[in-house]
């Protein structure tokens, strides 16, 4: 009887120590001004001109990456209007808007071949500016299996 009780107790200990693993697919995350940031939702839209826009949302923030093509490759931000990023922050009626563009901000987006059809995976980094020249920085950015809508 003692052996049976011991076996049940040991089994209970192992089962109660089990961790629940949560997946983060799809995922859009980065370090925003050196602090970890993760979007609550993300999606990709095809635009009528053949470009794509990757949009990531949190409670009061939107990050968009607009690229001239859905093809895997490296896209440079801050050079032209074909590849650009925006960051918009809206809280309590106050809106701040940051962007990259021709000689405004900088960064890079790399689209990697996706292993899941209908999704986009890659990395990004950017420095976007507002109208006053204030800069917001995203580095070590990753987007993984973001679905097309």
- 64-119 pLDDT per residue, tens: 999 999 999 999 999 999 999 999 999 999 999 999 999 999 999 999 998 899 99
- From the list 78, 87, 88, the residue with the least C-alpha distance to 108 is 78
β-pairing, 94-99 vs 84-91, is antiparallel
pLDDT of residue 24: 64
The pTM of the full predicted model, rounded to 2 decimals, is 0.82
Average pLDDT of the chain, as a whole number: 88
Per-residue pLDDT tens digits for 104-144: 999 999 999 988 999 999 999 999 999 999 999 999 999 99
Q: Specify whether the backbone of 107 is left (phi greater than 0), alpha (psi in -120 to 50) or beta.
A: left
């Amino acid at each position: 009887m003692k052996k049976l009780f011991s076996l049940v107790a040991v089994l209970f200990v192992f089962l109660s120590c089990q961790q629940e693993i949560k997946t983060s697919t799809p995922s859009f995350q980065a370090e925003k001004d050196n602090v970890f940031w993760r979007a609550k939702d993300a999606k990709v839209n095809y635009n009528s001109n053949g470009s794509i826009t990757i949009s990531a949302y949190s409670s009061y923030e939107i990050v968009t990456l607009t690229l001239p093509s859905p093809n895997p490759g490296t896209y440079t931000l801050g050079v032209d209007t074909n590849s650009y990023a925006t960051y918009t922050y809206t809280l309590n009626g106050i809106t701040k808007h940051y962007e990259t563009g021709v000689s405004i901000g900088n960064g890079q987006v790399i689209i990697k071949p996706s292993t899941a059809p209908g999704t986009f995976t890659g990395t990004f980094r950017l420095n976007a500016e507002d109208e006053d020249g204030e800069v917001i920085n995203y580095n070590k950015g990753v987007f993984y299996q973001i679905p097309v809508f």
